[in-house]
Amino acid sequence: MTASLLLGVISLGLLLQLAIGFAVAVSRRRQADPVDGLATRDPTLDVAAWPGWRPFRITARRFEDAAQTQCSFHLAPVDGAILPPFMPGQFLTFSLKIGEDAARNTVRCYSLSDRPSLASYRITIKYARAPDDKPDVPAGVASSHFHDRLAVGDIVMAKAPAGQFTLDSDPTVVSVLIAGGIGITPMISMLAEALSTHPDRPMHLFYGVRTLEECAFRPALEALAQAHPSFVLHLACSRRDTDSPPGHLAGRIGIVLLRRVLPLGRNRYYLCGPPAMVTELTRDLRASGVPEGDIRSEAFGPATPGQPLTLVGDAAKLSVQFKRSGRTLLWDGQDASLLDFAERHGVPIESGCRAGACGTCATRVLTGDLRYPMKPDQPPDAGFGLLCIATPTSNLVLDA
Ligand SMILES: Cc1cc2nc3c(=O)[nH]c(=O)nc-3n(C[C@H](O)[C@H](O)[C@H](O)COP(=O)(O)OP(=O)(O)OC[C@H]3O[C@@H](n4cnc5c(N)ncnc54)[C@H](O)[C@@H]3O)c2cc1C
Ligand code: FES
């Protein structure tokens, strides 16, 4: 009798322990579940961004459009440690060894295209074909490398998430997201995260594509619109011979169309796409009275739109010496940055984001002073300058 009672008590205790263990495991898994994103992260699990380059393994790849021009790559850290959080809209910078010249790395930035997760990141890359008017030039170096050569299991080196193109935390202001082509990548991350934390947040997405086949993430976008009546999806196909889906828009996204479709009142605009589109829309929004603080933008290209051209009063008197290249040039104030200036004169400078966020263009300033029209995301080390957003305020000698 005593023995069986003892056995009963022990079994009950074991059962209780198992139940508690299971509950803790479920709660920990929920906190660490990648799909749950930041909203359910355990703050004690948050980790700092890593310095320099970190190896990531490609764990999956998948096309996101019917035309198969935009491919997602899922990346898990090789060290298996949990990932620091990021703000939707930020990007990763990659250093790629491509081709014969193993000593020279190609640096490119790609936006994070999913909600934050503890276990992996997702980026989505559009294959940069040769331009229509120059069919004989090679396809884009980095995008073709990802599409044509990188497979599941391959390793790429990436810097920690960076960038200031992020969604306002105030969920009451109407957010108007405008994406051109592959400019959809930061937007899908912003939408998925914002609507999961504030399901009734008022949001519009204007997504311009050439044809419907090039519309990326269409099922995911339509599912979000279906689940959240406060989110309105506007697809617009620009090629004349293609139709937008019923209920959507036709033609290019411009200020007239926005004025016609959007509700009156204050909106905050987020623009991402080719530089020409971003520059034109920024100008037209400003001209139509939208305050500068209500427009945020990021261009996926060589220019840095929105950044005013800085004409220095005594510009022609400033000399810029690129010591290692053996060139001394006159700064004439025509360029928005020292990086543009160097490139225009054929002086090679590595660059990535061209927006003061990735640190790739950091160059040692041997003599002289720089000015930053916009605050760098990550200030450079002492004695270095970020040439992509800097202009000279004195004669300069650069270690480049
Ligand atoms: C912050 C940021 C985020 C970004 N996010 C994304 C993203 O999420 N997804 C994405 O796909 N891209 C993104 N980009 C763009 C990306 O970084 C690359 O610029 C893009 O992939 C093209 O790089 P590439 O090396 O493939 O092309 P490049 O080698 O730089 O070539 C660019 C184009 O020039 C053409 N070309 C080559 N030679 C010549 C020539 N002699 N004359 C004329 N044209 C020529 C190529 O065919 C190609 O079309 C982002 C950029 C930034 C700055
Ligand atoms: S190119 Fe990224 S900081 Fe200058």
Q: Which of ligand 1's atoms lies nearest the C-alpha of 144?
A: 26
Helices (H) and strands (E) in the chain, counts: 7, 19
- Any idea which ligand is nearest the CA of 360? 2
User: What distance in angstroms lies between residue 143's CA and the mean position of ligand 1's atoms?
Assistant: 7
Least confident range of 3-12, 26-35, 288-297, 302-311: 26-35
| pLDDT confidence of residue 121 | 98
Q: Write out pLDDT tens, residues 112-165.
A: 999 999 999 999 999 999 999 999 999 999 999 999 999 999 999 999 999 989
Mean pLDDT of 14-37: 36
Tell me which H or E stretch contains 206: strand 203-209
Tell me which H or E stretch contains 368: none
Mean pLDDT of 187-216: 96
State which of 75, 133, 141, 143 you would mutate to test the pocket of ligand 1, scoring each by most atoms of that ligand within 8 A of its C-beta: 143
CA-CA distance, 265 to 342, in Å (whole number)? 43
Tell me which H or E stretch contains 13: helix 2-32
Q: State the sign of the Cα–Cα–Cα–Cα dihedral 185, 225, 267, 199.
A: negative
Q: Which of ligand 1's atoms lies nearest the C-alpha of 126?
A: 11
For the Cβ of 143 lying below 6 angstroms from any atom of ligand 1, the answer is yes
pLDDT > 50? residue 198:
yes
Q: Write out pLDDT tens, residues 36-95.
A: 334 344 544 567 789 889 999 999 999 999 999 999 999 999 999 999 999 999 999 999
Per the DSSP assignment, residues forming a β-bridge with 322 are 327, 398
Q: Which of ligand 2's atoms lies nearest the C-alpha of 353?
A: 2
Mean pLDDT of 105-117: 93
Per the DSSP assignment, residues forming a β-bridge with 92 are 110
Q: Which domains does the chain have, with CATH numbers?
A: 45-158 (2.40.30.10), 174-299 (3.40.50.80), 315-398 (3.10.20.30)
Band of pLDDT at residue 178, cut at 50, 70 and 90: very high
For the Cβ of 139 lying below 6 angstroms from any atom of ligand 1, the answer is yes
Percentage, residues of the chain above pLDDT 90: 64
Mean pLDDT of 334-348: 92
Band of pLDDT at residue 13, cut at 50, 70 and 90: very low
- Any idea which ligand is nearest the CA of 357? 2
Least confident range of 94-98, 280-284, 310-314, 373-377: 310-314
pLDDT > 80? residue 310:
no
| pLDDT confidence of residue 260 | 87
Least confident range of 80-89, 312-321, 339-348, 354-363: 312-321
CA-CA distance, 208 to 235, in Å (whole number)? 6
Least confident range of 9-13, 343-347, 375-379: 9-13
Q: Which of ligand 1's atoms lies nearest the C-alpha of 354?
A: 53
User: What distance in angstroms lies between residue 365's CA and the mean position of ligand 2's atoms?
Assistant: 15
Mean pLDDT of 227-239: 93
